[in-house]
Amino acid sequence: MKALLMLAWLASMAGGWLGCGSVWQTRTFPAPSLNPAPLAAPTLDERRTVLVSPPTDAYRAQRVGVLLFRHPPHLPEVSHPLTQVFFQRLLTIRPFREVVFIPQAYGTLAEALALGRQAQVDLLLLGEAPYFLDGGTVGITALQVDLKVVEVASGQLLWYLSDALRATPRPVIDLVVTETRPHPTPDIYAVAGVLAERMCRTLAAGRLAAR
């Protein structure tokens, strides 16, 4: 009798676990997924472009100033943290002899060059984020960054780079036995870090990277 009761209890437990509509929940973040990696990881769309590159690598021996990045009009709060992400990568990768942070905003190229002369730098790195979409790790996250390197004395454009990354989460796939969830999309500043790493390494590689 005890054996029959035990079998009945196990059957009811199994039915509750495997039954239609039963899902496995977790508070772990990011949520684990039983889907294979290609189905769990977000899809990434990338675009890298070198529009202008210098004829020589002489700029690498010069002192560069980094002004606050320009931002979408409705997101003034992203300028400083985005600039800091790129500034830190510049210090690490060292595509220039010296990097100086100039915490100033500018409107025109003439204003930027005036700030560069005040800071006594040879070059300016001017950044802009024309597209900034923060999905909060659960929606689409996308960022485009344009970088220009300008000679302060002449205003000559040495580098013009554009890079963009868009991360789209995978849809949830229900395997009946368990609710599997895709890995979240990366944080917007993690995306910024990826772009900063790539663009700074392009600057460090010089003319070879522009070919």
pLDDT of residue 23 exceeding 50 = no
In the chain, the percentage of residues whose pLDDT exceeds 90 is 45
| pTM of model > 0.85 | no
**Is residue 31 situated within a structural domain?**
no
Q: How confident is the model at residue 33 (pLDDT cuts 50, 70, 90)?
A: low
pLDDT of residue 3 exceeding 90 = no
pLDDT of residue 108 exceeding 80 = yes
pLDDT of residue 34: 62
Whole-number Cα distances in Å, 12 to 3, 4, 5, 7, 175:
14, 12, 11, 9, 20
**Is residue 206 situated within a structural domain?**
yes
pLDDT of residue 208: 61
Collapsed DSSP state (helix, strand, coil) of residue 105: coil
What CATH number has the domain bearing residue 107? 3.40.50
Range of the domain at 149: 50-159+186-210
Looking at residues 163-185, what average pLDDT do you find?
67
**Is residue 113 situated within a structural domain?**
yes
Q: Can you read off the two tokens belonging to residue 45?
A: 């769309």
**Is residue 15 situated within a structural domain?**
no
The average confidence (pLDDT) of the chain is 79
**Is residue 89 situated within a structural domain?**
yes
**Is residue 80 situated within a structural domain?**
yes
> How many domains, in total, are found in the chain?
1
Query: Residue written as tokens 């196990």?
Result: 10
pLDDT of residue 166 exceeding 50 = yes
**Is residue 168 situated within a structural domain?**
no
Looking at residues 167-182, what average pLDDT do you find?
62
pLDDT tens digit sequence for 45-101: 777 888 899 988 889 999 999 999 998 888 888 899 999 999 999 999 999 999 999
Of 60, 195, 196, whose CA–CA distance to 123 is shortest? 60
**Is residue 171 situated within a structural domain?**
no
pLDDT of residue 170: 67
Looking at residues 118-138, what average pLDDT do you find?
88
Of 16, 42, 51, whose CA–CA distance to 167 is shortest? 42
Collapsed DSSP state (helix, strand, coil) of residue 127: strand
Rounded CA separation 154/122 (Å): 10
pLDDT of residue 32 exceeding 80 = no
Identify each DSSP E strand in the chain by its residue range.
43-52, 63-67, 98-102, 123-133, 141-151, 157-168, 173-174, 179-180
pLDDT of residue 25 exceeding 50 = no
In the chain, the percentage of residues whose pLDDT exceeds 70 is 68
Of 101, 128, 140, whose CA–CA distance to 195 is shortest? 128
